[in-house]
Amino acid sequence: MFVRRRFSTCLLTLAAAFVLWSPARPARAVTAEDLKPRPGEAVATFAGGCFWCTEADFEKVPGVTRVYSGFSGGKEVNPTYEENSAGKTGHLETVQVFFDPTKVSYKDLVEYFWRHINPTDPGGQFVDRGKQYRSAIFYHDEQQHQIAEESKKRLEDSGVFAGKPIVTEIRPYEIFYPAEEYHQHYAQKNPLRYRYYRFGSGRDQFLKQVWGEAPASAEAKPVPPPQPFVKPSQEELKKRLTPMQFEVTQRGGTESPFKNAYWDNKAPGIYVDIVSGEPLFSSLDKFDSGTGWPSFTKPLEPGNIVERHEKTLFSDRVEVRSRFADSHLGDLFMDGPPPTGLRYCLDSASLRFIPREALEREGYGKYAPLFK
């Protein structure tokens, strides 16, 4: 078995890595005008730990019109992310949620908030530790105050958290300072980084354990292969595939570096699953990783990629599989180049390359404009 890793990733330091990647002091693009409710909008303010996660969660709620990440609860004026993440301010990472009260009520938003945090944690939220990551509800008027207090009391009485006290604060709203532009809508702008961070934080694992299911994700929808696909039997696959293709896709094997079909392929086109034909990666995102395996910074169709996380004592492996065929494709690492910082390290044996000139003929014409 060949080793693909350059280094192991410590999940507890992922947040720091993302900060180092970000600009030192970028401009704030969210203006004071943006933070005013528009006609028909109401506003709510919540602190739920990492504002990337809290923002992404509330953006999924029907009736929520806008969400911004920022800081509330302290006295410091216009703090930077670096200052706040270092615990140098009294602010909490917070989201400002604008919503249409004819479509979703403030009570519903509070109930939704409880199901996306750990309200029993006084020291932060999940992997993010420190006072700046504590949970809180900042009420804007007495009606919101009453709704939040009654909702908190119902949660305490429910026994969902086995008698642990609900420590989430309910505080009067004073002011909200927006975070820097690169933090706004982070899950949308950096979906792969965000998903990897979120898994490593332990948030969804905790929520599934408490509530029985993980919150809905923002993953892209899968794009099926050109023809309806039913996975063949193992016996049929043994006949259709070469021994190496079968070993890799069905048994999770790894082929030799620098001795496989596509490690040095520079032709324009797309890569599809060898079994199903589902579109997976593009030559536009391929790079020379120096490992001897074909490597990509991102998928062509994220919805067709399944990431399976396997924890060991000293490292965390992320296996990459295809959605329709459930083929083993390779592994995902966090040591790739910009713009994603990701390295999808794959086995050529799991792939079939469709050159640019054959896309229409093979049924992948929708991707032809990418190469014009």
Residue 358, pLDDT above cutoff 60:
yes
Domains along the chain?
A: 11-211 (3.30.1060.10), 234-371 (2.170.150.20)
The whole-number average pLDDT for the span 228-234 is 93
Structure tokens, 198: 């979120």
pLDDT band at 140, cuts 50/70/90? very high
Q: Determine the pLDDT at residue 311.
A: 61
Pairing of strands 316-322, 328-333: antiparallel
**What residues contact residue 246 under an 8 Å CB cut-off, 6+ apart?**
237, 238
Lowest mean pLDDT across 88-92, 261-265, 337-341: 337-341
Q: Which of 86-100, 166-180, 308-322 has the lowest mean pLDDT?
A: 308-322
**Averaged confidence pLDDT in the chain:** 88
Residue tagged active-site, from 14, 42, 50, 354: 50
pLDDT digits (tens, 9 = 90+) for 260-294: 999 999 999 999 999 999 999 999 999 999 999 99
The reply to whether 50 belongs to the active site is: yes
pLDDT interval class at 13 (50, 70, 90): very low
Give the integer Cα–Cα distance in Å for 1 and 205.
30
- pLDDT of 313 reads 54
18 pLDDT band (50/70/90 cuts)?
Answer: very low
- 10 annotated active-site: no
**Quick one: which of 292, 249, 255 has its CA closest to 274?**
249
Measured CA to CA, the distance from residue 302 to residue 333 in angstroms comes to: 16
CA distance 291 to 276: 26
Residue percentage of the chain with pLDDT more than 90: 70
Distance CA 155, CA 113 (A): 12
Q: Identify the band that residue 334 occupies on the pLDDT scale cut at 50, 70 and 90.
A: confident
The confidence band for 213, taking pLDDT boundaries of 50, 70 and 90, is: low
Q: What percent of the chain has pLDDT over 70?
A: 88
